[in-house]
Amino acid sequence: MKDLLLNAFKKHYGVVRSFAVDESIFQTDFVLADEKACHACAVKDDVQKCARHEVAKFECKDKIATVIDYERLIDELAGTKAGEGKKCDKIVYTSDKSQFILNELTCSQGKYIESKRAKAMIQLNQSISKLCAVPEIHQFVRSFQQQVGLFSYRIKDDENTGNSNQAIQGMQQFFQPLKAISVIQTTKSLDENFDFVQVLYPNEYEL
């Protein structure tokens, strides 16, 4: 995928500048965070609010997972056609070709989660459209058994527990069926038949 972004993606969108693709490889369970949001909110009013920059937890189960910082890539391409529109945070895919995932991460007060989810679906769809417009990337994405748009969310640690629970219950009632407690796979499909899945931290997403 890294080579496809550096070559096919670059050519398709007419990018003439050089750019980097931030790629990480994991062979054990790992966590992801929205670094910009986490750093902005870790310390507020000179008080440490959150010591752990975690929003999503992934269970590898003997698979090798590749993670690409898609948001950083698109930000780096600002001012070009490739840098237009909204974008999700991460690309995650497995070595056994079981899952190709576009991941949007958020940490928010419970009362804002539903609006965050709606925004995430837009970001995921625009990311899907931009990537799949490149024939070579579209072929790569379709080579996986499942394509997933994953909304990973965390309720802020300093929020009132009662309000958080109400927000979580409301989202669980909205989306049916439940795949597992706090891990919800919806009947909704994103573009290109990506499955929309949402996971509440600290639940793990199984690759």
Is residue 68 within 8 Å of 90, Cβ to Cβ? yes
**Cβ neighbours of 140 (radius 10 Å):** 19
Position 178 pLDDT exceeds 50: no
pLDDT attached to residue 13: 98
- Separation of alpha carbons 79 and 44, rounded Å: 32
The pTM score is 0.85
Q: How confident is the model at residue 109 (pLDDT cuts 50, 70, 90)?
A: confident
Residue 189 pLDDT level (bands cut at 50, 70, 90): confident
8-28 pLDDT, tens digit per residue, is 999 999 999 999 999 999 999
- pLDDT digits over 131-161, tens only? 999 999 999 999 999 999 999 999 986 654 4
Name residue, tokens 């994405």: 141
> What pLDDT is recorded for position 157?
67
Mean pLDDT lowest among 33-47, 48-62, 97-111, 151-165: 33-47
- Compute the mean pLDDT over every residue in the chain, rounded to the nearest whole number: 85
